Amino acid sequence: NGMEPKCGGTIINRFYILTAAHCIVNINLTLAGVRVGEHNLSTKKDCDFATNFCSPPVQDLLAENVVVHSDYKSKTFENDIALIKLATPINFSYENAQPICLPMSKTAKYDLNNNFAVVTGWGVTESGFASSELLKVSVPIIPYDQCQKIHKQYYTVTNKQICAGGFLGRDSCGGDSGGPLKYIVTEDGTSRYVQIGIVSYGPVDCGRQGYPGVYTNVIKYTKWILDNLRPPLA
């Protein structure tokens, strides 16, 4: 019906999706809604024929409201963060549509430098085309000072951003914007993914050796996220 996927995002509760501001503003498209629970865009059902298992159906939900960070700067990608409020709640009884954990104060104490995080999306691959299937890749988190030096010719990387990647052929790319950079955190014997970044920008030639991608640092925006959620919450 003239609609196509533009960006990624993550579920943070039944009514809210976390994404990048540049997915919402300064584009010649209108946000029609959000699809959750998707895996393969080219099939109506996501099935593993080896096990004869099919995941629950996707949920297509209309957007009721969008909150873009008031200090978002499109030229420098500062404060590249936004929330989409859905008109109807996500059905969490479907196992393919679940919320991600947000980083709290304990997560901020972890030294993430040189550890590996995971980025997921349907973005452009080495083929030059977007993937129809949800892909993931592990990327190393690059120390802030090192990242500043790498990108200083074109952008000023701030302490509200995270750099990750820099390995040949392992990177987020066009179409992955707004999606998550996530890190496994273990608390009280339980391991879970925590979203530490939002795909923001990187080199045009994705997966370039020595040039990491830049992500909005979610740890720096947890308060902003919580302050901008409106009831009903879940």
Q: Is 22 a catalytic residue?
A: yes
Residue in 46, 69, 176, 177 annotated catalytic: 177
Peptide bond into 57 cis (omega under 30): no
- CA angle 166–169–174, rounded 5-degree value: 90
User: What is the phi/psi pair of residue 139, to 5°?
Assistant: -135, 145
CA dihedral sign, ordered 102, 104, 108, 114 = negative
Q: Is 177 a catalytic residue?
A: yes
Q: Is 145 a catalytic residue?
A: no
* Pairing verdict, β 33-36 and 53-54: unpaired
Residue in 22, 69, 171, 200 annotated catalytic: 22
Residue in 46, 69, 80, 151 annotated catalytic: 80
Contacts of 132 (CB under 8 A, 6+ apart): 40, 41, 42, 122
Return the active site residues: 22, 80, 177
